[in-house]
Structure 1
Amino acid sequence: MTKSVQAYFATENDAESAKASLQSLSIGRETVEAIPEDTDMTPIIPVAGSTNSGGGTFNFTEVVSPKQDHEHAKSDKKTLTHILHFTLPAEEIERALQIIKDHKGYINRKDME
Structure 2
Amino acid sequence: MKKHIEAFFKTENDAESAKASLQKLSISNPFMEPIPEESRLTGVVPVLNQGTTAGVAGFKDFIKPNKNTTDEDTPPETDHLTHLLQFDVDKDDYNEALAILKKHDGHMDKDKI
Indicate the TM-score class for this superposition, using the shorter chain for normalisation: 0.7 to 0.9
Alignment partner, residue 26 of structure 1:
26
Identity of aligned residues (%): 41
Q: Are the counterparts in 2 of residues 47 and 106 from structure 1 also a CA contact under 8 Å?
A: yes
Alignment partner, residue 56 of structure 2:
65
Question: 1:59: Cα distance to partner?
Answer: 0.4
Q: Are the counterparts in 1 of residues 54 and 95 from structure 2 also a CA contact under 8 Å?
A: no
Distance 1:12 1:109 in 2: 21
Q: Which entry has the higher C-alpha Rg, 1 or 2?
A: 2
What RMSD, in angstroms, separates the aligned Cα atoms of the two structures?
Answer: 2.0
| Correspondences of 1:12-91 after superposition (within 5 Å) | 12-37=12-37, 39=39, 41-48=41-48, 58-59=49-50, 63-66=54-57, 68=58, 70=59, 73-74=60-61, 76-78=62-64, 79-91=80-92
Q: 1:6-50: CA deviations, max 9, x gaps?
A: 0100011110010000000001100110114565522211012xx
User: TM-score with structure 2 length normalisation?
Assistant: 0.76
Residue 64 of structure 1 aligns with an amino acid whose one-letter code is G
Distance 1:44 1:20 in 2: 22
Q: Are the counterparts in 2 of residues 47 and 62 from structure 1 also a CA contact under 8 Å?
A: no
Paired positions, count:
98
| Correspondences of 1:86-97 after superposition (within 5 Å) | 86-97=87-98
Residue 65 of structure 1 aligns with an amino acid whose one-letter code is V
Q: Are the counterparts in 2 of residues 7 and 107 from structure 1 also a CA contact under 8 Å?
A: yes
